[in-house]
């Protein structure tokens, strides 16, 4: 399945450009090119405690953003090429087209009508294995470029004023540039019966069938599988300040080689607007999830967050917990931690940002405990079409089997937007 996926990206970008020439009398269209040049000093590019290598890294990133809003199509496309050049370790260069692309594109055809078609394409830099040393600001160490495509036609049949039947099909595909990543392809069919109990309450029942193909093969020869999901859910606007969504059900995975796995699944999402600037959020999910190179996991996630949002000051904090039990591997990961972010405008043109996080993870096969701490900040100055940013990041990781590292990074970037 390995593919640079240039054809799909070209189709998405071309579609967004072409629609700008149709129905112009009833549409809005915006197109903004940009160019970013950055310089970074990294004192530990391999995130290694025993053989630290430092380097200067130059980033060259041209890009565009496009939005289009019309009766038959809503389009939002952000496309850039993120080239990274190392002064002393050129083998780490991110200089090929398929590695450098970054895309976030959404095309929504016939929004608000009974039949809709949603097409999305995302190209991003992701971790290959969350266990191995990696950070999101280092795009080479244990990370790769992931291409994700989704095509989703759907039809809503309004049976009565309060009952509707929704059925559709999803085509999903993932391709990793690094050969360690397991490419996947899915064909998904789903049908939902939805009852609008009131203006504040919806309940639904849903059935989903998935045909999943992957490059992953376990030690026992397990690979492709079929999946069936039975779900019951409710969306409730409890009050003007409280919103709750709850889903519960049962999932079954049948590997085509003969093995079967099943489990209850579900999720809870709740938000409470305590005051104009303060919102509390609570989330929990239990589901099957595919990983980049180790197959399916039974994944649990929980979080509690507090957000403060005013024009003069923004802050957010989140407590989180997770557990992943690998279905076909003798491995279990679990961890917990906290994240905090702050943004403070110092003037009309100057903004200060600060972030910090702590995470404790525990792994098996082999047994390992890891404590990670990070802190960072930036000063961002905007003048007309120009944005300049000076940033610093510090990361410390302490492992009980010796996978420790300390990392300091200083960045200076400039962006011109048109």
Number of domains in the chain: 1
Whether 348 maps to a domain, the answer reads no
CA distance linking residue 113 with residue 122, whole number of Å: 25
Q: Which two tokens stand for residue 208?
A: 């989903």
pLDDT at 120: 95
Whether 22 maps to a domain, the answer reads yes
Q: What is the extent of the structural domain holding 85?
A: 1-174
Whether 165 maps to a domain, the answer reads yes
Give the predicted TM-score (pTM) of the model: 0.90
Q: Which two tokens stand for residue 304?
A: 């509690």
Query: 60 burial class (0-12, 13-18, 19+ CB within 10 angstroms)?
Result: middle
Q: Which residues, in sequence order, are bridge partners of residue 394?
A: 375, 408
- From first to last of its 418 residues, the chain has per-residue pLDDT tens of 444 455 555 555 555 555 545 555 567 889 999 999 999 999 999 999 888 999 999 999 999 999 999 888 999 999 999 999 999 999 999 999 889 999 999 999 999 999 999 999 999 999 988 888 888 888 888 899 999 999 999 999 999 999 999 999 999 999 999 998 999 999 999 999 999 999 999 999 999 999 999 988 877 777 899 999 999 999 999 999 999 999 999 999 999 888 899 999 999 999 999 999 999 999 999 999 999 888 899 999 999 999 999 989 999 999 999 999 999 888 999 999 999 999 999 999 999 999 999 999 999 988 999 999 999 999 999 999 999 999 999 999 999 998 899 999 999 999 999 9
Q: Which two tokens stand for residue 286?
A: 């239990």
Q: Which residues contact 246 (CB under 8 A, 6 or more apart)?
A: 233, 234, 236, 266, 267, 268, 269
CA distances 9 to 153, 186, 355, Å, are: 19, 19, 33
Question: 126 with 142: CB under 8 angstroms?
Answer: no
pLDDT at 10: 57
pLDDT at 193: 97
pLDDT at 16: 52
Whether 170 maps to a domain, the answer reads yes
Question: 395 with 373: CB under 8 angstroms?
Answer: yes
Whether 197 maps to a domain, the answer reads no
Whether 397 maps to a domain, the answer reads no
CA distance linking residue 125 with residue 137, whole number of Å: 10
Whether 356 maps to a domain, the answer reads no
Which residue carries 């970054």 as its tokens? 102
Whether 138 maps to a domain, the answer reads yes
């Amino acid at each position: 399945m390995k593919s640079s996926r240039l054809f799909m990206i070209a189709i998405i970008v071309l579609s967004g450009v072409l629609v700008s020439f149709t129905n112009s009398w009833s549409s809005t269209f915006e197109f903004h090119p940009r160019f970013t040049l950055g310089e970074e000093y990294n004192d530990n590019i391999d995130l290694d405690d025993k053989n630290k290598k430092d380097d200067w890294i130059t980033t060259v990133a041209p890009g565009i953003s496009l939005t289009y809003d019309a009766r038959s199509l809503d389009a939002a496309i952000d496309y850039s090429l993120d080239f990274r050049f190392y002064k002393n370790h050129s083998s780490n260069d991110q200089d090929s087209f398929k590695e450098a692309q970054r895309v976030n594109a959404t095309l929504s055809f016939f929004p608000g009508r009974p039949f809709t078609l949603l097409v999305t394409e995302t190209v991003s830099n992701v971790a290959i294995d969350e266990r191995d040393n990696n950070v999101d600001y280092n795009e080479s160490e244990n990370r790769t470029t992931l291409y994700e495509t989704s095509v989703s036609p759907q039809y809503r049949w309004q049976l009565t004023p309060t009952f509707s039947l929704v059925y559709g099909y999803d085509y999903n595909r993932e391709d990793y540039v690094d050969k360690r990543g397991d490419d996947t392809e899915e064909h998904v069919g789903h049908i939902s019966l939805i009852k609008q109990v009131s203006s504040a309450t919806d309940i639904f029942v849903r059935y989903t069938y998935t045909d999943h193909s992957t490059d992953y093969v376990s030690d026992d020869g397990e690979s492709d599988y079929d999946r069936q999901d039975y779900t019951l859910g409710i969306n409730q606007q409890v009050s003007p300040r409280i919103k709750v969504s709850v889903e519960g059900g049962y999932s079954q995975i049948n590997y085509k080689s003969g093995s079967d796995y099943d489990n209850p699944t579900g999720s809870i999402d709740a938000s409470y607007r305590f005051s104009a600037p303060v919102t509390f959020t609570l989330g929990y999910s239990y589901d099957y999830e595919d990983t980049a190179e180790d197959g399916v996991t039974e994944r649990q996630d929980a979080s509690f967050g507090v957000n403060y949002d005013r024009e003069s000051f923004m802050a957010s904090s989140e407590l989180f917990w997770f557990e992943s039990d690998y279905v076909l591997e003798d491995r279990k990961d679990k961890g917990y931690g906290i994240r905090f972010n702050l943004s403070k405008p110092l003037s009309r043109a100057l903004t200060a940002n600060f972030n910090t996080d702590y995470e404790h993870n525990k792994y098996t096969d082999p047994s390992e405990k890891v404590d990670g701490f990070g802190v960072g900040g930036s000063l961002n100055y905007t003048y007309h079409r120009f944005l300049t940013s000076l940033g610093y990041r510090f990361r410390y990781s302490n492992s009980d089997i010796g996978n420790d590292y300390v990392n300091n990074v200083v960045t200076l970037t400039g962006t011109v937007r048109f």
